[in-house]
Amino acid sequence: MRAADQALIVIDVQNDFCPGGALAVAEGNVIIPRVNALMAEFPVVVLTQDWHPPTHSSFASNHPGKAAFDSVTMPYGEQTLWPDHCIQGSNGALFHPALRTDPADLIIRKGFRPAIDSYSAFFENDRTTPTGLEGYLRNRGVTGVTLVGLATDYCVAYSALDAARLGFAVTVLLGVCRGIDLGGSLTRMVDQMRAAGVALED
């Protein structure tokens, strides 16, 4: 068992991000056995869950004339448009059936505000609206977090960068993540995590 001040944060291991899903990450399901095993090692376990309304502004379907993976400018900055995914109450939004959820102390749902996307487990994409995760971890006495899940170059990386910015010691287990790699995003975000002091391990 890890020290009492360590938490495992499992990012978005949901049906829509796994093979066959609406926004499938290649081999997204392959990491699940190791994720499940890691849960037994940490005294604090948090799962995150993308949880979008059908009207979400990050969906290409809500922008006439736009296609998935196009970009638009939102009040908070550039936003990639995605296929409809992880819609509240849908099968795609559910955790993958092979993922253990019983060890989770907390499930953080994100992306439920229609007008703003949320990659990070800590903040919406405006980088200021909090999810509440920081306060929970502080109250539990957590000083270090280890992140695994989907996708490396989006929700995992943004969560890791925010955690480092907030002063947590951050480790990302790259072997227990899988990426989308949209236009070189995987290399770019791995480099950003390294530059921010995130420990990158397998």
Catalytic residue among 16, 50, 86, 110: 110
Single-letter residue type at 52: H
Residue 73 CB: number of other CB atoms within 10 A?
8
At what angle are helices 157-165 and 185-195 packed, to 10 degrees? 20
Name beta bridge partners: 7: 44, 145
Token pair 């969560």 is at which residue?
159
Q: Under 8 Å CB-to-CB from 141, ≥6 apart: which residues? A: 4, 5
Exactly one of 18, 86, 155, 177 is catalytic; which is it? Answer: 155
Residues 6+ apart with CB under 8 A from 65: none
Does the annotation count 66 as an active-site position? no
Question: How many degrees, rounded to 5, is the angle at CA 182 between CA 187 and CA 86?
Answer: 120
Type of residue found at 171: T
Cα separations (Å) of 66 from 29, 61, 62, 72, 167? 30, 7, 8, 9, 38
What residues act catalytically?
12, 110, 155
